[in-house]
């Protein structure tokens, strides 16, 4: 097993179709002991599903933007398991465009400070708080695997009315690279994953077989949206000792979509 007896904290796992839960399942199948964390109460349902399957899992519902609450959670995890080897920071908030490419949020000149701060906090501060809390133990033991989930949106591409989201996700990449330099000599790796269009349920991309979904699929070089499991496989690799010489890297996982110079079809039907 690739991460046998490693203790892993995974955030953003409440969605049964999400990257966080897919990552948790990949890790636990390869021998990890899990602590699942999310702001939603549904985190406990995901934990119960894994417990029923016979895995060693605990769960916490809390606001990850609150550093003191994160520290309290960490104390409980360490009291139970004695350590944390792997930290997968998946928690965040996406969804910045409407169905017709008209933004759901206002442009930068109109966006309220509180709305901008919220997007920065939920996409960047959550990651900062978790690293700030668990890094000291990793430094002490001279071992750790930190995997941060960013996005292609921000570090690679952007769209209108997404300043808070893009700044937050770009910040995750900046934090990843800086931290990797600081802790590399301590046996700790810090890497980031940049998903593109990943279908995690909901109406954003449309259900399979619908015109909206077919337009998305057609526009991607591999002709399909990504699956949460595509990202989870990469999380598992970066959390395992197979990636011991991989540090400070950014992994785009989007079916080659971001490198296209021309897209002959729109990503989805637009209205002018």
DSSP, residue by residue, 113-159: HHHHHHHHIIIIIHHHHHHHHHHHHHHHHT-EEEEEE--SBTTTB--
Q: Using 50, 70 and 90 to split pLDDT, how confident is the model at 102? A: very low
Return the domain boundaries, the chain. 7-253
Contact 144, 153 (CB under 8 A): no
Instruction: Look at 20-34, 132-146, 187-201, 204-218 and tell me which has the smallest mean pLDDT.
Output: 204-218
Q: What is the distance between the alpha carbons of residues 109 and 9, in angstroms, rounded to a whole number?
A: 38
The catalytic residue among 81, 165, 205, 268 is 165
Assessment of whether the complete model's pTM goes beyond 0.75: yes
Give the residues across from 201 on adjacent strands: none
Average of per-residue pLDDT across 167-195: 98
Query: Which pLDDT value is given to residue 106?
Result: 62
Which of 107, 153, 154, 97 is closest to 270 using CA atoms?
97
Active site residue 165: yes
β-sheet with 144-149: strand ranges across: 57-61, 33-38, 7-11, 86-89, 144-149, 188-195, 250-253
pLDDT at 268 over 80: no
Model pLDDT for residues 116-132, shown as the tens digit of each residue: 899 999 999 999 999 99
Contact 2, 240 (CB under 8 A): yes
Query: Which pLDDT value is given to residue 110?
Result: 83
pLDDT at 271 over 60: no
Q: Using 50, 70 and 90 to split pLDDT, how confident is the model at 266? A: low
pLDDT at 100 over 80: no
Average of per-residue pLDDT across 59-75: 98
CATH architecture for the domain at 7-253: 3-Layer(aba) Sandwich (3.40)
Buried b (16+ CB within 10 A) or exposed e, 143-182: bbbbbbbbbbbbbbebeebbbbbbbbbbbbbebbbebbee
pLDDT at 206 over 80: yes
């Amino acid at each position: 097993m690739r991460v046998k007896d490693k203790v892993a904290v995974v955030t953003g796992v409440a969605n049964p179709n999400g990257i966080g839960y897919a990552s948790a399942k990949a890790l636990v199948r390869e021998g990890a002991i899990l602590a699942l964390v999310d702001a939603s109460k549904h985190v406990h349902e995901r934990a119960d599903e894994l417990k029923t399957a016979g895995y060693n899992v605990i769960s916490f519902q809390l606001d990850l933007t609150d550093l003191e609450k994160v520290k309290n959670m960490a104390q409980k995890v360490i009291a139970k398991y004695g350590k944390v080897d792997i930290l997968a920071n998946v928690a965040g908030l996406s969804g910045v465009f409407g169905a017709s490419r008209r933004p759901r949020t206002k442009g930068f000149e109109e966006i309220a400070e509180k709305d901008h701060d919220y997007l920065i906090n939920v996409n960047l501060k959550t990651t900062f708080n978790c690293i700030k809390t668990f890094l000291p133990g990793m430094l002490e033991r001279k071992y750790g695997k930190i995997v941060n989930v960013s996005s292609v949106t921000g570090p690679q591409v952007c769209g209108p009315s997404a300043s808070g989201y893009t700044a937050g996700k770009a910040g995750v990449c900046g934090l990843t690279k800086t931290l990797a330099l600081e802790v590399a000599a301590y046996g700790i790796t810090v890497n980031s994953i940049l998903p593109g269009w990943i279908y995690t349920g909901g109406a954003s991309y449309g259900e399979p077989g619908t015109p909206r979904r077919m337009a998305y699929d057609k526009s991607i070089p591999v002709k399909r949206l990504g699956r949460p499991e595509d990202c989870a496989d990469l999380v598992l690799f970066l959390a395992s000792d197979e990636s011991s010489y991989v540090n400070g890297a950014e992994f785009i996982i989007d079916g080659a979509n971001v490198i296209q110079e021309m897209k002959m079809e729109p990503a989805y039907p637009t209205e002018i």
